[in-house]
Each structure stands twice: as structure tokens, then as C-alpha cells.
Structure 1
Amino acid sequence: MSLRETTFSPDFKPQPYWWDASPQEASGETDPPRKTDILVIGAGYTGLHAAIETARAGLHTTVIDAEAAGWGCSTRNGGQVSTSVKPSFGALRKRYGENLAIAILREGQASLDHVTDFIRTEEIDCDFSVVGRFHGAHTARHYDILARECESRHPGFETGAYMVPRSEQRLELGTEAYYGGAVFPRHASVDPGKYHAGLLRVAREAGAGVVSHCAATDITRTATGFEVTTPAGRIRAGKVILATNGYTGNLAPWHRRRVIPIGSYVIATEEIPAALMDRLFPTNRILSDTRKLVYYYRPSPDRKRVLFGGRVSLAETDPKKSGPKLHAELVRLFPELSDTRLSHSWAGTVAFSFDTLAHCGEDRGLYHAMGYCGSGVGMAGYLGARIGRCAAGLDTDPGAFGKRRYQTRPFYTGSPWFLAPSVAFFRLRDRLGI
């Protein structure tokens, strides 16, 4: 039998699992207006949250997207909602001082609170659940690092996290592959497709116009704001919000030099027996680990499939090629799934920043929020809402993520030539337990 026959199920789809329940809109028939107060470029979490704020403030708001609304990572992620800050308190304090380090971590927790409150207040049916995260230590040394971080209880890290030793790991996860780990009880899970569909509904009900399949190809400053070129014509806007994250491209060269687009790959298994799911994932938590090339995974909302994501190739690749590689890593963690085939395999483009933190800001009416470093389910909506309030004149402070210089590197133009050697280097570190 071929690799495809042994790895993929007969009904395999090379698209996000979430699209089964929330198909992409196939409109593109509506033309954008010739003039608007606020033009939002990008109809994912960032753009729609921003648009809700500006529309509810009474500003004529238009959202455009090059593809279907939510076609990017807003419906391609793993549905894990965390506090979205990768560096530790110690690393942040060394870089920025204690006050800003605390502010950044508190903003991370605020992003989790924001998406939780938003989903509940707007009554979005998206399988949202506070299940907690188990963060596995891939070496004994990394377990000790996690333990020290949990014990520190410093300001800004008030998460209620606690350690689970390897001797008790089976109570959390049916594998011996980790050396124990940390549980973050406030982290949550969501169906990204349903969440985006609900968010799109709320934005339209707020009065925002959303035009899909309408790519912005040029942004030009004018005496009264901006003129944005699209295939459907030019749009005059008082202010522009750039909400493109990993899909920024040539439209905004300054921003493109500050994001590192990286493919993240995800698979969904075919349905597995309930007893096996209960044995492997007894707590229904979302899961990740301490590797530099992190794996993230979880049961599907109906607990019938396993969703497993990560980066398994040095360069960008076809999800049909990444699928078997991810499947091999899944089986390494859970040998019981060796005969389980894949029903879906897909990819999305996340945006990293050189300082591994999100950024938001404004330049004479051009606003941005981006660089979520693979943890954007909560942070994208939170910073989108904050930047939307700033654009609406409701607030002047974008928060801690707008208080740092947005770094780039000499000669970097947005094409990460260094990605393959970096992935190889981090893969070696992970194997050596460094």
C-alpha cells in the first residue's frame, strides 16, 4: 500500500477540520464603498475585533480581505486560548525592566479574559471551554525550569499554575514521553471556525461592512487620510487598520520587515474509540510542550478526533507532505494511534517577531496589530479591540505591546531566508535537551 493509503482516510480533505462545520463564505459579489471613515485590511480576529469597536463608536467602518473572511490563521489554528506571552518573567525583566515586564504579562492575561468575556457576552456558540493546559517538559531540566517559574509567583504571573510530576502524569495525559509538566488551569479551547463565524456576525450587526475577495494592493497617504487601491476600485479612508499578521506581504513594506511569516501545520485524525480517547486525554485539556519547535494538540470539541500541530519540515511544504510527518510525531507520543489515519491536513501562516512578542501601534492614522508568535487566538482579538478603540478616539493608550520598539534586522525584507537553518538548529537543541 502507498503512504497515502496507509496515512490518509478515504474521505481525507486537505483543508482545515474546522471548515466542515463552518464553511468559508463564497461571496465576493459586494463592492466596497468609495469612501469610509475606517478601513480595516484583514477580516480575521484582529480586523473584526477592531471593526466592532469603531463601528459601535459610530464610525463608518469597512473591512476588506483578499480571500474569504477568516481564510487565514483565524480558521486554521488549533483552537487553543492562552495568555499569549512566550518569554518568561525573568527574560522580560532583563530586557525591559520589572515594571514593563509585569505590564506585558498582565496584558497577556487580559487577552485571555477579553476573549472569554467577549464570547460569553456576545453569546457566540463556538464550543468555548476553560479546560486548562498541560505543558509537558521534554527533558528533566525543562521540568525544573517550569517548576521554578511556577514557584516564583511573581507579579504578573498569577495564573494558578501548578506542577504535575512524571509519576502522576498519566492522570493528565496518556504518554510517558514527558518528564512531567505544568498545568495552567485558566487556559481554554475553542472551535476557531465557529468563533470566527460568530465574530463576523457580531461585526456586521455592529454596522461594519465586510467585503471578501477584495485585496488591498496599495496604500497611499493623502491630505485627508489614505487612498487604498483594490481590484474593485480605490477606497478613500480617514484611517487604516492593518490586520494582516502573517499575510502582510508587499502591501506594507515597513511592517513586512518586522514580521517573520512561518508555516504552522495541523492534522486531524479520523474518529477514534471513546475508551481510547478517555485513556489518552482523560482531562480534555489543550496540550503543548517545552520544545523550541513546539507541538500543540488537543481532542476535538466532540472528543472523537485528535488535532495535532507543529512544524516538521525545514522549509514550507505541502500539507499532504507534512501530514505523514506530523502523524509520525503523534504516534511517537501515543503508539496506540499507529493505525489511526488522518481525515484532514492543513497549514496556516503565523507571524513571529524578532523579540517573540506581539506589537501594536500607529503612524499618522495607519494602525497595526500583529506578530502574535503562534499564540494569537486570544491576543489577536484583544489587540485588535485595543487598536480599534484607539482608531475610534476612545482610547489613547494601546497598552504594553505598543510601548516597545518594533524591531527588524539589517537586510531583512520579509522573506525569512534564515528559517531553514533556524529550524535545523532548534531541532538539534530539542533532540539534545538544551
Structure 2
Amino acid sequence: MVRDDAVFSDDFVKRPYWWDAAPPETCLDALPTEVDVAIVGSGYAGLNAAIELARHGRRVVVLDADELGSGASTRTGGMVSSGQKLVVGGAIKGIAPELFQRMIEDSIASFAFIQQLVEEQKLDADLEIKGRYFGAHAASHLPRLYQMGDILARVTGVKVHRFNRDDQHQVIGSDYYHGGILVDDYGGLHPAKYHRALRELARRHGAELRSHARVLEIKPASRGKVVLTQRGAIEAREVLVCTNGYTDATPTPSLARRVVPVRSYQIATEPLPPELIERLVPGGRMITDSRRDLIYSRPSPDGSRLLFGSRPGLYEIDERQAALKLRARMLEVWPELADYRLSHAWSGKVAMTVDKTAHVGAMDEAHYALGCNGNGVALMSWLGYRLAQKLLESAPRPLSFDREKFQRLPFYDGRPWFLPLASGWYRLRDGIERRWR
């Protein structure tokens, strides 16, 4: 049994590392009584929608059930990609080729959008495009990764490099993987700084932001909708729901049946020697692997720490307990980190859908953009912006993610009772393949 003082630093906290630089915000100003658009959820989708709507003169209020920036947007790993997740995540299966191609185009557009937004608005977000390495967890996974890389290069135009086990030290200081692929068009940012910058930009354009205003009901009214919150009622011509893994079944029961919240956990190490970071992750790239119950890791934007994320087990557990399990996984990849302690541990909910793609549409008396499927930084930013364009009737073309069919899971009411079963099955298959294939 490893002693706690050998694992946790003296200043260890159970909160996102990102909040050290840009904490969530409380805004308890009175709610407006009437707006053009009420946006439920202060994540990347909600804020980008608010920016575009307010920029065109609409009166907008963004409502969050808790602090502004306390949800998944500032709990993510901060990895930024274009269309790769659609291919790597398996969404290519079961989707008509024409629709899939348009999804790829929109996903690539989302990658360009966030880069342009950060550059043109001079957002303090620590955005850098350094690439992402996908390691083969089992020997049998390597040909599959190579094939996936070929598909990625063909359908998205990204540059993909192949590595075998002997030469992968160019991109990762570990012998754990059996080789892998490096995708150049992949980046990372500081998610809490990006969120803070979006809040500031939204306010500059006139949007109002309110925390601790949980929405209890959305109902039709003579001039649009009435949004009932725990702090009062708001009349709105339109309502946007951008809540992802925090979608509430009380005001939006139909949407809650279509989005599965999956809790993911992360840890941050204490500051590491710069030469160690460079040896473990040359070039500061993003790291993930091919297992179903995957890991994701990266250096912090300032290059001082290593961040590591995964699901620690079949059930949700306390972040401190989760940190012990994540650390064990991290040491499998990088045994050299055994002498370094952890400073942070946290978790957040990822929004998964049946078809592994995001969805935009109208339901539960509201428009919505939901279902990041672990790929939300660029995509949800873009979908919020495009959802605003839809309301403004200024969209240059139809959005591929805006579809009538949004499949729900049978026997599911918003409470994911089946996740332990799915997680256990994934882990069993990963373990068998790692050992025998």
C-alpha cells in the first residue's frame, strides 16, 4: 500500500487544475424579465451562441445552474481537433456517406473556426497546434490504427505519420504501446482561460450572464416561451439548450433520454523537471490510445506538469480514490513518474449519444446543440455559433448535425444505469486483447 503522502502533494485539491488560473464565476445580478433569446448552459456552445446573437443586436441571457464555467467546458482535457473523432470514434458506421462527408466538412470548419476566433479576438486561451499521438494498446490494434490513419488522411486531409514500437520514442517516451499514429492537425488549449475569454467577449457584445439560475421548466407563451428558474421567470422569444452532459430531465425530459452523461476523471502531477516532461512527451503533444476504455494525457500549457485522464473503474467514486487508480494507469505508461506526487484530481461529465455524433435541432420547447462525445472544445463552440446563425437566418448552408432523427436509448430516462455493465465489458475486452493479441 502506497502512503498518501507519497501520492498527494501537501497542497492537493479535488478541483480542476485549470481553475487555478481561471476559476468559475458567480453572477447573482437580477434576471432580466424579457429577452430575445434565453440560453440554458454556459459552456462553449452556449457562450458562442450568445456572442453571435448579441453581436447582431439580440438581447441574450445565458443561464447556468451553478457557477459560470463550473461544468464540463472547464473540466475537459482541453484537446482540440477537427473531424478525427468521427472516424476514430466509430461514427463512420451506420451513417450515409453523403451525410458523413458533410459532417467531416463541418468538423473541419469547427477546427478552423476556433483558431480564427482565438486569433482575431486575441483570446487568452493558450491555444497551440502540436499534434496528437494514438498509441496501440495491443499488438493487434496497430494495423487497425494504421488503417484508421489512412482513412483520416483521405477524408479529412490531415497529415498522419506511422510509428512502430521501436521508433515511437520520437513522439512518446514510453515502451507501453506497440506503435501508433501521429495526427498533426490536433491541438490543445487552456479550457478555463478560453471559457473566461468567451465570457468577456459575450459581455462586450452585450450578452447577460447569470449563475445559480437552474431552469425548472420551459413552457410556451403568447409571445414565445417562459423560462422558469430557481431565481425567477424570464419571457423569451426563443430558448437554446446547450447543456451536454449536464442535461436536466426536469425541464428537458426528451433531450435527457437522448444524451448519456459519462463521468471522466483527471489528475495533474506536481511540477516536474522540464527535461522529464520533454522526455516523456517530446514536443508537448496530446496523447491517447486505442483501447475502448481509453486514456488521454498531455502536458499543461505552461509545460510544467503532466495531466492524465480516464475512467478509474465501473462506478463513480470520490476524486481522491479515483486519483489513486488513475495514477496506477499513468505509471503503466510512464513508470518514471512514480517519484512525483499529484496536486489535483477532478471529474466532469461527457455527453454521449447512440450514434456517437452531436445533434442540433428543436425539442422540449427549445432549440438545442448537444452530444459532444468527448470532442467538444472546437465542435461545441462551432455548433453554438451555427445554432445562433440558424435563429438569425444567416447560415450560409444547412448544418449536417441538424437532423430530424435523434435516437434515444430504450429503457433510458436520463439515469445511466447501464454504464457499469458497458464499462466492465470494455475493460474485459481491452485486457484480453492486451494480453493475448
Equivalenced residue count is 433
d(CA) in 2 for partners of 1:375, 1:88: 12
What is aligned with 1:412? 412
d(CA) in 2 for partners of 1:93, 1:22: 37
Q: 1:152 to 1:229 in 2, by over 3 A?
A: closer
Q: Secondary structure at the match of 1:159?
A: coil
- Offset at residue 101 of structure 1 (A): 1.6
What is aligned with 1:206? 205
TM-score, normalised on structure 1? 0.96
What is aligned with 1:351? 351
Q: How is 1:227-306 mapped onto 2 (pairs within 5 angstroms)?
A: 227-250=226-249, 251-306=251-306
Q: 1:108 to 1:130 in 2, by over 3 A?
A: same
TM-superposition CA deviations, 1:66-103 (whole Å, max 9, x none): 11111101111111111255343896555222211211
Contact kept, 8 Å, 2:76 with 2:348, in 1: the verdict is yes
d(CA) in 1 for partners of 2:252, 2:84: 25
What is aligned with 1:149? 148
TM-superposition CA deviations, 1:90-133 (whole Å, max 9, x none): 96555222211211122222211111111111101121101111
Contact kept, 8 Å, 2:87 with 2:152, in 1: the verdict is no
Moved over 6 A (4+): none
What is aligned with 2:169? 170
What amino acid sits opposite 2:190 in the alignment? D
What amino acid sits opposite 1:426 in the alignment? Y
What is aligned with 2:403? 403
Q: Secondary structure at the match of 2:405?
A: coil
What amino acid sits opposite 1:241 in the alignment? L
- Offset at residue 397 of structure 1 (A): 5.1
What amino acid sits opposite 2:49 in the alignment? A
- Offset at residue 231 of structure 1 (A): 2.1
CA RMSD in angstroms comes to: 1.9
What is aligned with 2:68? 69
d(CA) in 1 for partners of 2:274, 2:2: 28
Worse overlay, 160-169 or 35-44: 160-169
Q: 1:310 to 1:432 in 2, by over 3 A?
A: same
What is aligned with 1:320? 320
What amino acid sits opposite 1:428 in the alignment? L
- Offset at residue 398 of structure 1 (A): 5.0
Q: Secondary structure at the match of 2:340?
A: coil
What amino acid sits opposite 2:226 in the alignment? E
d(CA) in 2 for partners of 1:312, 1:92: 25
Structure 1 unaligned spans of 5+: none
Q: Secondary structure at the match of 1:388?
A: helix
Q: 1:396 to 1:252 in 2, by over 3 A?
A: farther
What amino acid sits opposite 2:155 in the alignment? G
Q: 1:356 to 1:364 in 2, by over 3 A?
A: closer
What amino acid sits opposite 2:413 in the alignment? T
Contact kept, 8 Å, 1:17 with 1:344, in 2: the verdict is yes
Worse overlay, 236-245 or 407-416: 407-416
d(CA) in 2 for partners of 1:298, 1:381: 21
TM-superposition CA deviations, 1:180-221 (whole Å, max 9, x none): 111111111100111101011111111111111111111111
Q: 1:85 to 1:186 in 2, by over 3 A?
A: closer
What is aligned with 1:385? 385
Determine what percentage of the aligned residue pairs are the same residue: 37
Contact kept, 8 Å, 2:91 with 2:356, in 1: the verdict is no
What is aligned with 1:193? 192
Contact kept, 8 Å, 1:225 with 1:365, in 2: the verdict is no
TM-superposition CA deviations, 1:298-335 (whole Å, max 9, x none): 01111111000011111111111101110111111100
Contact kept, 8 Å, 1:390 with 1:396, in 2: the verdict is no
- Offset at residue 403 of structure 1 (A): 2.8
- Offset at residue 349 of structure 1 (A): 0.8
- Offset at residue 289 of structure 1 (A): 0.7
- Offset at residue 164 of structure 1 (A): 1.7
Q: 1:227 to 1:135 in 2, by over 3 A?
A: same
Contact kept, 8 Å, 1:85 with 1:357, in 2: the verdict is no
What is aligned with 2:375? 375
Q: 1:168 to 1:411 in 2, by over 3 A?
A: same
